[in-house]
Structure 1
């Protein structure tokens, strides 16, 4: 794909607005949370949380439940057919806060790392003091700001990986991008948010590496 300059990242809404969106989409109910619990967490966390992303722990709400709620160009999201095990891609070398809700700070799409393989991008993120997003965190980002997905400027979420029974890593690495409506996706899914995968050692000019500076819950 031709190289283009990515547009500025859309700003995240304030936490109260994010909470209302999760409630309106049914995310809180799917995660076994009441609307009051989500709103109370957002209100408690609001101080010093400008630009933070409100996320549900993947233990409470897996990727497969989030995917249909994603939207781009009016199309619902989907998981590719050869990733039926999407919920087995677990946090890897990432420490998550306890509790069903937490904040993800300083999210970035990692456009500057495009055309690197995941194996090449991971040490670069570490050197920057950042950790890669989980797949579910990336999906929450798209839920709140659908315009973060831009053709030729989508992203991988290499904080989620699948550890196989034989002790090795599955070479598939989760990513979120925009479907072209070709092949098994089907024409009706053109422009839809697509949860898929790329090989660990492959490079893609159109995929950055989404990351964060911190994950936390508000101090008690």
Structure 2
């Protein structure tokens, strides 16, 4: 279980989060929606331990000698890779490369010898998703991860990611402006508005 307790955060004296509490079980797919600039990505980074809150805390089971159990997937994958590393090394940073995951996300083995700038944003995002899964997380924060893909590729990526996370009981916090997507894949949707998280929908997930 992931617990967020009374988190507060301000950026340049502008409050973004105020007494925000949230919990998530492994295997849950929860959506987060809100206007641009309200702090959705900031909240996701706090959950994933990229940013420390000004007040409040995150509680999660974690063995200190293992990767942090919440992995963050960026909207722009080039922000999360070393541009001087080849793709093979980028993947191996998280663990032993899994050929099944490469096939599932249509990653050509030829890419492994390339550098990030030799792949398209969509190709690099697939690499980052596989790297995330190689770290064997308990939870994933997915921040607008398919906005650079066409509709067919978006569907394919989400189907495969949900297949893997369901099999491995991984929870996902899906940050998106796309309410249609959230309605299709999430059991619960929250809106970040006026510094607080508010549940706005519960639905039956459609795989």
In the superposition, the TM-score normalised over structure 1's length comes to 0.28
What is the TM-score when the length of structure 2 is the normalising length?
Answer: 0.29
